[in-house]
Amino acid sequence: MTLTAPTGTTQTMGAALLALGMAVTVGTALGFQHIGGYIPCKLCLEQRLPYYIGVPVATLALAAAAFRLPPLLVRGLLLAVALLMMWSIFLGAFHSGVEWGFWPGPADCGAVALPPSGSGSLLDQLDAVIPPSCDQAAGRFLGLSFAGWNVVASLGLSAIAWAAALRKA
C-alpha cells in the first residue's frame, strides 16, 4: 500500500516555507537595523526589495494552493518567487563583491564627510544620518557579511521555490 500526498501538498508546503522564510530573513535585517543599530547602506536596502515583493507573492501562492485554485496560478506565483530570489542572489553577490573589493560599487554609495558640528541647527544635524559606505561590511560572521548571508538564504529559498513550482504535486 502506497501513501500519496493530496494534490497540491508540495506547492502548499513550499509556499508556506517561502512566506515564512522570506519574512524571517527580511525581519532579521530589519531587527539588526532597528534593534541592533546597524545603519544599512544603499545596496543593503536594495537587497530587501525582492523580499518586500516576495513575501506577499508567496502568501498569495499559499492562499491559492490552500483554496485549491488552478495549479497553473499556484505554480506561476511560485515561479515568480523563484525569480525574485534569483534577483536577490544577484544583489547579494554584487554587494559582497563590492565589500571584498572585486568591483566598484555605485558612485552614490560611499562614505561622505559629516557636516561640521557648528553648522545648522541641532535638528538639522540630527536629521543628517549618513549611511555607511557600500564597500565596508558592517560585520562578518563565519567569514560572511550580511550580504553574503543574504546570498546563502536566497539560494535556499530559491531552491525551495523552484522545487515547489516544478515538482509534481
CB 131 within 8 A of CB 39: yes
Checking if the pLDDT of 119 tops 80, the result is no
Using CA atoms, how far apart are residues 15 and 108, in angstroms rounded to an integer? 37
Q: How many CA atoms lie within 13 A of 121 on its CB side?
A: 3
Q: Is 1 within the bounds of a domain?
A: no
Residue 129: other Cβ atoms inside 10 A: 7
Q: What's the total number of domains in the chain?
A: 1
Domain that holds residue 46: 9-106+117-166
Using CA atoms, how far apart are residues 40 and 31, in angstroms rounded to an integer? 11
Q: Is 139 within the bounds of a domain?
A: yes
Q: Is 111 within the bounds of a domain?
A: no
The pTM of the full predicted model, rounded to 2 decimals, is: 0.81
Kindly indicate the confidence band of residue 5, based on its pLDDT and cuts at 50, 70 and 90. very low
Q: pLDDT, tens digit, for every residue of 120-155? A: 666 665 566 667 777 777 777 888 888 889 999 999
**Domain CATH code at residue 65:** 1.20.1550
Q: What is the CA radius of gyration of the chain?
A: 20
